[in-house]
Amino acid sequence: MPSVDFDEVSKYVRLPDEARVLLERPERELRITMSLRLDSELMQTDVYVVYYNTARGPAKGGIRFWPTVTMDHTIELAEKMVWKTALAGVPFGGGKSGIALDPGKFSRMQKTAILKEYVHALRPDLIGGTYVPAPDMGTGSADMAVIFGETHLLESVTGKPPRVGGLPGRLEATGRGLSTCVRAAARKFLGRDLDGLTVAIQGFGNVGSWCAHFLDQYGARVVAVSDISGGVTAGSGLDVRRLAEWANQGNLLRDFAEYDKISNEELLAMNVDILVPAATEDVLTGENASAVSAKMIVEGANGPTTAEADAVLNDRGLPVLPDILANSGGVIASYIEWRKAKSGSLTSREETFQMVDDLVLAAFDRVTERTESWKTTPRVAARALSVEEVVNTMNDRGWI
């Protein structure tokens, strides 16, 4: 079932029946049985590939290398990429792929062999530009370099290391865009800049840690962060740089001795100005949403708020900036890298950040303007704007 409530969206934008038929299901679903011998053992697993809608450009979405990935989950993630790319204004459609394996169980060489087999199965789409993958859970820049090594096309994949045709600033881009959205939302909904505002961030991986880094630079007081083990807190503010160094060495936050400990549930209920759920899906639920004490929520993860939680938070009048707006910095940077690969141009880290900031802020302004004029929530406004963009593109292409 699509994540967008098309009945609600149609209250605000034109949604012809012909368009709705195309948007309620993926264009293409592939289920591949991968089989290869790793050392002396035979490895077999399912690979899921979904191109949800390609009206606006190639299917764009990461490779999730994770044991719990399913076709239904891959469809859901591919659909969200349709709305995210449309809202950001970059010329991509939405796609996703999943390899149902635990990345922690394989050596670097074994993982490389698996990814090469993945490329073998999808070579026509990767070479032809139908699908442009990127990193996701369980994959990183080294894995994207493997894909480039098999296709020999720089534009066939994004998220590569800078020395392998990648983009300076791509690693930080999602956290950068998220922090830019937090800053704009503070000005809009709290009526002040970030200086001195308190922030709690659930999730201290790539997105959460870089968001914390930039918010700290902007003058916010990051008072709590967490990972899968739990978190740490300090009312006077955390030393974000030292915590990032600790985490990057493979350590768990609960083992950092200098700060008070906090659980993930306690972090979500902290009395802070801004809560940033940047870990995983469905952490804010109908059961715990009433305990949220923050004045504003900005979604760093994909789908961290369930529909039940969203209803509770809306009833309480808490602004919730949705994921398709707040964490779009990564796909914006992917577009810059893809464009750079096709043109041969050079791009600096500062130029990457500037374009991420510009497009995130432009989308933020559109969403908040429609939130006010339509008297609805930022989530509904963002979804309606995205659907409107895709419908107009399908009309331009003669699909409807």
Judging by beta carbons within 10 Å of its beta carbon (0-12, 13-18, 19+), is residue 44 exposed, middle or buried? exposed
Q: Please choose, from the candidates 198, 212, 205, 200, the residue with its C-alpha nearest in 3D space to the C-alpha of residue 241.
A: 212
Q: Please choose, from the candidates 9, 99, 14, 96, the residue with its C-alpha nearest in 3D space to the C-alpha of residue 54.
A: 96
**Does the active-site annotation cover 60?**
no
Per DSSP, the residues of 36-68 read EEETTEEEEEEEEEEEEE-TTSSEE--EEE-TT
Helices 349-374 and 378-396: crossing angle in degrees, nearest 10, is 100
Q: Which of 60, 80, 84, 96 does the annotation list as catalytic? A: 96
Judging by beta carbons within 10 Å of its beta carbon (0-12, 13-18, 19+), is residue 127 exposed, middle or buried? middle
CA atoms within 13 A on the CB side of 230: 12
Helices 349-374 and 71-88: crossing angle in degrees, nearest 10, is 90
Tokens representing residue 358 in the block:
């510009």
Cα torsion through 220, 367, 210, 193, rounded to 10 = -10
The total number of residues written for the chain in this structure: 400
Is residue 305 within 8 Å of 299, Cβ to Cβ? yes
Q: Which residues are catalytic?
A: 96
